[in-house]
Structure 1
Amino acid sequence: MITITTSENKKVYFASDQHLGAPNAVASFSREKKFVAWLDSIKKDAEALFLLGDLFDFWFEYKTVVPKGFVRVLGKLAEIRDAGTPIYFFVGNHDLWMRDYFEKELNIPVYHTPQEFTINNKKVLIGHGDGLGPEDKGYKRMKKVFTFPFFKWLFRWVHPDIGVRLGQYMSVKNKLISGEEDAKFLGEENEWLAQYCRRKLETTHYDYFVFGHRHLPLEIKLQEDSMYINLGDWIQYFTYGVFDADTLSLKKHSI
């Protein structure tokens, strides 16, 4: 478990689901500039930054090739990390084929499963959120196929010009991948990530659960001293999480 203690006037930031590259280069470029502007605004007081997946709408790392584009956001992340601010990246269902590019090029650790952190003595479980809880069954089946080593080996033999274009097309068009169903509020009792959190609380206490994936900004009180927060997205809501002193809450980026 990693422990983070904020310095005076410092904060911990969380963001998720930027889906850069979708639905097309023009629309993505506009969102990328907004996200980079937000990164630029937080760098002065960020003790740490958590990116909770689906930064890219499609991402596949060949051994020597990564998808073209996104230089502004990658450059800004490199700037923030080089200045000494820790950044933690959790892969989502759109960038689940991420390997070690972020770790080698940007010195940003990459996580494929939820992880426990302690922030100012608050215990926090953090992850993208895909495949957790009793639902999300279609994606769970898809993930088993897409993460199967033989399938990944086969895809790696496809020329990048074909493979990346095919992946981008599937990511935008296939609702199992694009997350079109993720933006519908199910009610506090029926939200499957909230159900997952409540089950975790039966064995382990967490002050906060922080996830993305749902594309909805949510703050659901699970117990008197436990909260589930979903970060929303940077397509419609432009919301993010901020841990200030001993409280974690959602904020909206002014566009």
Structure 2
Amino acid sequence: MRTLFIADLHLSEAHPKITTAFFSFLEKESGDVDALYILGDLFEVWIGDDEHTQLMDEVAKRLSAYAKINQINIYYIHGNRDFMIGKKYAKEAALQLLNEHSEIDLYGENVLIMHGDTLCLADKNYQKMRVIIHNPLLQSIFNLMPLSIRKKIGWKIRSASQSKKVYKNKEVMGVTESEVLRLMDKHRAHTLIHGHTHQAAKHLFKILNKPALRFDVGDWFNNVSFVEAQTDQIELIIRPISYYTN
């Protein structure tokens, strides 16, 4: 049996190949799965649970079926693109929402999981914006706005973020090592699994002279990458997207 971790698919109507790969992934990676963890940014943008598109509804249908067929739980940590996913959609998609920093028992080991945006302290502009957009009062006000206005605001923020991302180097987009160590020490974990940076990799280091691992799950734009945990090992798996689309 195994547990799977994915992140940063950024599903949208503009990238149907990724959607096809995701649905194929759910079909192929089935039958021997204990749990599926989605570590944020499943969608490119999320306006609110009251918006219904064919893509959103089909994803909910596929995830719900996956949970039922495999008789497993699907866990979700919000990303920076879809942090507004609420209980309504979570119920439709059979998602169990987790805290932004969550400890899980992974085959007897305490493992820390998160989206990963809180690790990127060098991206100061984003961290300032994150404090604002995660303000519960502002989120409540946003949800009271008409759907049409929320769509315009959401896509405007998304476009601005995309244009700024072009000028960010890997150092800014990458994690701050001191923050990684701080959080892993706080949660007494020697394994961390996260997304957000789109830099799929397995990092080996030490915490208090003990071996530690950090897995960056990676995105699905060119390859399909995910972390697969079994009772005796945890590995990062990277496959060409054609593996799930042909």
**TM-score interval (norm. to shorter):** 0.7 to 0.9
Aligned-partner SS, 1:219: strand
Alignment partner, residue 29 of structure 2 = 42
1:58 is aligned to 2:49: no
Query: Residue 54 of structure 2 is aligned with which of 62, 69, 72?
Result: 69
Alignment partner, residue 242 of structure 1 = 228
- Write the distance in 1 (CA, Å) between the matches of 2:68 and 2:116: 28
Alignment partner, residue 101 of structure 1 = 88
- Write the distance in 1 (CA, Å) between the matches of 2:214 and 2:63: 27
Cα displacement (A) at 1:107: 3.2
1:78 is aligned to 2:69: no
Query: Residue 6 of structure 2 is aligned with which of 11, 15, 23?
Result: 15
CA contact (8 A) 2:199 2:217 kept: yes
Structure 2 gaps of 5+ residues are: none
Structure 1 gaps of 5+ residues are: 1-9
Cα displacement (A) at 1:41: 0.8
Query: Residue 206 of structure 1 is aligned with which of 170, 179, 189?
Result: 189
Aligned-partner SS, 2:171: coil
Decide which structure has greater helix share.
2
Cα displacement (A) at 1:203: 5.0
Q: Kindly provide the CA deviation profile for residues 148-171 of structure 1, in whole angstroms up to 9, marking residues without a partner as x.
A: 233223322322133124312421
Instruction: Give TM-score, length-normalised by structure 1.
Output: 0.82
Matches within 5 A, 1:23-172: 25=13, 27-62=14-49, 65-70=50-55, 71-83=57-69, 84-132=71-119, 134-172=121-159
Aligned-partner SS, 1:170: helix
- Write the distance in 1 (CA, Å) between the matches of 2:238 and 2:102: 25
CA contact (8 A) 2:46 2:82 kept: yes
Q: Structure 1 runs of 4+ off > 3 angstroms?
A: 178-182, 184-187, 200-205
